[in-house]
Every structure is written in C-alpha cells, then in structure tokens.
Amino acid sequence: MGMNYTPKQIVNQLDNYIIGQTSAKKSVAVALRNRYRRTLLDEKLKDEIVPKNILMIGPTGVGKTEIARRLARLVGAPFVKVEATKFTEVGYVGRDVESMVRDLVEMSLRMVKEEKMNEVMDKAKESAEKKLVKLLVPQVKKQSTMSNPFEMLFSGQGSNSTNDDDGEKDEEIRNKRSRVAHQLAMGELEDRIVTIEIEEIPPSMFDLLQGSGIEQMGMNMQDALGQFMPKKKKKRKLPVSEARKILIQQEAQKLVDMEEVSQEAINRAEQSGIIFIDEIDKVAGKHDNSPNVSREGVQRDILPIVEGSTVVTKHGPVKTDHMLFIAAGAFHMAKPSDLIPELQGRFPIRVELEKLTVEDFVRILSEPSNALLKQYQALLKTEGINVVFTDKAVNRLAEIAYQVNQETDNIGARRLHTILEKLLEDLSFEAPDVSLETVEITPEYVDQKLSTIVKNKDLSQFIL
C-alpha cells in the first residue's frame, strides 16, 4: 500500500492524469496523508480521529470522479462509485444505502484475493504442471486377476510375478511422465487436447433480487443453501495452453485461505476504503408535500453510514467509522445548503472545481499520460498510419470544444471525445484500405472536418 505518499507526491501523481483543479487535488492529498498519520498514533487516540469527508462542487466533465478514482488506484485502496439517485428510502422498492458498503467489501475482497493468489502463483503453476503431466500420461488401472473371492485364499503362489509386472508398468509410466514434463517445459505440447473437470456454476435463482431492498437476504439464503447442495462438475476438452490457465487458477484457489482473505478485506475496507457518492445534488431540495419517494429520506439514510455505523455483510459486520466519503455534484438546480444540515456537517471540506478554459483543453489533449491525442494516434498506428497533430491544430480543437460547450450544454472535457471522433471519423473508416504513412492534422483540416459543428448551432446530433 502506498499510503505514505506526501501530499506533494500525491498531487504530482494526479497531475499525470488530471489537468488543473489544484485545490481539489490538495484536499484529497491532505485527507489521504491524514490517514497515514493516523496509523502512526497509539490505539486510544487512533479510534478518536475520523476522516474529514469531502464535498466536490463543479459541473460535469471537470475531473471530480477521476480525481477520486486515481487517488484510490494510487494507494491500492478499495474504491466504489455510486450514484445517490440510485438509492431509495427504506421501505420503498430499490437499493438501500447500505449496499454501497457491501459493494466496497466485495471490491476489497477481490483485491485481497488477487494479491494472495499472486503470492502463491509459483506453487500453483508447479502443481498445475504436475496435473497436466498426469492428464497426458494417466495411471493405468490395475485389473484384478482374481475370478472369485476364494482365490484370495490360494493366491500366495504367482503373486511375485504380478508384483514384478506392476513395478515395470509403474517404472514405464514414470519415464513417460518425465519425458512429457520436459516436452511441456519446452512448449511442445501446447496444442494437445486434454480433458479437465471444471466446477459448474448454476444460474442463481436470487439474481432477480439484485437491485431490490432484499438483495442481502437473497445472498445470505443462497450461501446457506449452497452448503447443502453438492457442487456439480463438468468435463471439458481443451488444448494444454487453455487447460493450464484453468488449472493454475484452481490450484491457486486451493492454496488461498478464504477466511483470512475475508478478514483482511473487511479490515482494508474499514481502514482505507473510499466511497464516492456522485449526483448528491439530485437528492438535495426543498421540503415538499408530493407523494413521490422522499429525497430527504435518502439523505437521512445516508447520514448514519457517513457518520459511522456497522453494516452487516455476508462476510461479516463492517464498521464505516474510518471510511473516506467523497460526495460530488454539479449543484445547478440546488445549493449545498439545500442538503439537510446534519449531512452538510458530515462533509466539512468543500472544494469548488473550476470550469475548463481553452488553455485547459489544450493541456488535456496533449499533456496527461493517457491524453486523448496519444490514444487516437496509438489506435491508428495499428493500421500503419502515423497521425501528427500540429500545435495550431491542437489549439483550434480546444477552441472549438470550448465554443460548443459555451453555446450548448457544458459537458466539460467529455466534449473532446465528441470533437475528436468527428474529426477522425473518415480517416478511421478508410484507414485499413489506404496506403498512407503519415497524416498531418492542420488547423485547415480541423476546420474542414468540423465545419458543420462550428457553423450549425443546433448541435443536437453531436451532443452526448
């Protein structure tokens, strides 16, 4: 876990993927560093210090979600993103707010299990190779020469020759397996077909409960019934190359202690889990007397989770006291003050993210490690075409993206996807059939391809 990053190092890492938004980056960097500082305290004081949750305010497409996601990936922390609008007040059909904690534990479980399986991978590969050798050279079943039980009483004579035959067969099989093991190591038998047994996972009758308020009850019932129902196995014929992958997974699964994985997953979710609650502004609003499901009720259900409570999951009880919650919303129609006061108090750090400028668009197109221009260049490089964007062309693309955002709905950096798809649409279509080596994208090329977007203000067909 890379939790001992300094705040400056965290911001520098985030700068590789997200342009601007320095204040938001600083806030999450400090929150993460405080987690590390807390681990150095004595137990008595450690329990008293809780994370300072963050409320991000800004329009869509400015980097709210990406900051939280990259932060979690940076430190290897369990992370889930949920939409506040997906939840309903307790008593109504729909997902209850506790499901976000269950989702976080499942994510944590997958992460820990993958780490543990990687630790035993060498042993698993060794065991899988041995199994493959046995499948390719199976043990010959010994056939009894006794015609009836009474012969056992008089079988003293002649037994030595039988044992000698068995010994010779065993020696022959060992020699064959030794040769096959060598051939496997050399990769000579990758296309040989073998028959392996795979556990069959039947479709769950409780899948219908997913997304409902009783999903947890369905999972618990399925676990209880699963202990009494035998696991079905089916045989599959596969080439050695495919069978090896399955056998390695099976062997690694046997070597991993799932009880230990569950405990560590719960601990990691409790101590370093990050829950990102998007669209929080959509459940904010003034009090009304409408018969619709109460949005304030959802806020009140979220409150104890954020404040610190115990949620029962199928892996065990999970405390939310030290989880970091990051809420985000555009707050176009509502204000942060429209949230219930108790929930406002649980998000003491407020960060306003800035709208993107032309300069920001230029940097987004070219600077990040996963910059959009680099992605499109790499895709077309597979067709043998080297796409070169001039600096003026990049500036022109940024200007058009900014202009379209100003004249229609502002969707932030996501507008660049729309612009670039339109710009390179013809080139991507013709790429497999043309023999071009280099294509230079100039401002004139940009204006020619995007003329319909720039001239026509009714851009409904180009808007995401």
Q: What is the pLDDT of residues 153-176, one digit of tens each?
A: 555 554 555 555 556 677 888 888
The DSSP call for residue 334 is S
CA distance 400 to 393: 11
CA distance 347 to 256: 39
CA distance 346 to 325: 9
The DSSP call for residue 353 is P
CA distance 361 to 395: 8
- In the chain, the domains with their CATH numbers are 7-115+261-352 (3.40.50.300), 121-141+149-255 (no CATH), 358-450 (1.10.8.60)
Could you tell me the two tokens for 213?
């308020």
Pick the more confident residue, 78 or 153. Answer: 78
306 SS3 class: helix
Find the range with the poorest average confidence among 23-27, 107-111, 457-461. 457-461
Q: Are strands 316-319 and 310-313 parallel, antiparallel or unpaired?
A: antiparallel
The DSSP call for residue 199 is E
Task: Output the pLDDT for position 173.
Answer: 84
Closest C-alpha to 68, from 96, 32, 102: 32
The reply, when asked if residue 442 is annotated as ligand binding, is no
* Interval 334-373: pLDDT, tens: 888 888 999 999 999 999 998 899 999 999 999 988 899 9
The reply, when asked if residue 342 is annotated as ligand binding, is yes
The reply, when asked if residue 296 is annotated as ligand binding, is no
354 SS3 class: coil
- Helix axis angle for 215-228 and 99-119, nearest 10°, is 40
Supply the pTM of this predicted model.
0.79
Would you say residue 109 has pLDDT above 90?
Answer: yes
The DSSP call for residue 231 is P
The reply, when asked if residue 20 is annotated as ligand binding, is no
Give the mean pLDDT of 265-273: 93
Radius of gyration (C-alpha) of the chain in whole angstroms: 31
- Helix axis angle for 22-39 and 7-15, nearest 10°, is 140
Give the mean pLDDT of 214-228: 52
The reply, when asked if residue 35 is annotated as ligand binding, is no
For the chain, the average pLDDT equals 83
Would you say residue 105 has pLDDT above 90?
Answer: yes
Q: Are 419 and 453 in contact (CB under 8 A)?
A: yes
Closest C-alpha to 71, from 172, 137, 3, 133: 3
DSSP string, 119-148: HTHHHHHHHHHHHHHHHHSPPPPPPP--SS
- In this prediction, residue 120 has a pLDDT band, given cuts at 50, 70 and 90, of very high
Would you say residue 3 has pLDDT above 70?
Answer: no
Closest C-alpha to 90, from 287, 304, 339, 277: 304
Measured from the Cβ of residue 26, the count of other Cβ atoms closer than 10 Å reads 16
The reply, when asked if residue 414 is annotated as ligand binding, is yes
Say which residue the tokens 């006291």 belong to: 321
Phi and psi angles of residue 310, each rounded to the nearest 5 degrees, phi first: -110, 125
Alpha-carbon torsion 288, 294, 300, 305, what sign?
Answer: negative
* Interval 399-428: pLDDT, tens: 999 998 888 888 889 999 999 999 999 999
Would you say residue 450 has pLDDT above 50?
Answer: yes
- Write down the H helix ranges in 47-120: 64-75, 99-119
Task: Output the pLDDT for position 373.
Answer: 94
Query: In sequence order, what are the beta bridge partners of 198?
Result: 234
The secondary element (H helix, E strand) that includes residue 328 is strand 324-329
Would you say residue 293 has pLDDT above 70?
Answer: no
**C-alpha dihedral, 301 to 303 to 309 to 312, nearest 10°:** 30
The reply, when asked if residue 61 is annotated as ligand binding, is yes
CA distance 308 to 305: 5
Q: Are 427 and 395 in contact (CB under 8 A)?
A: no
- In this prediction, residue 333 has a pLDDT band, given cuts at 50, 70 and 90, of confident
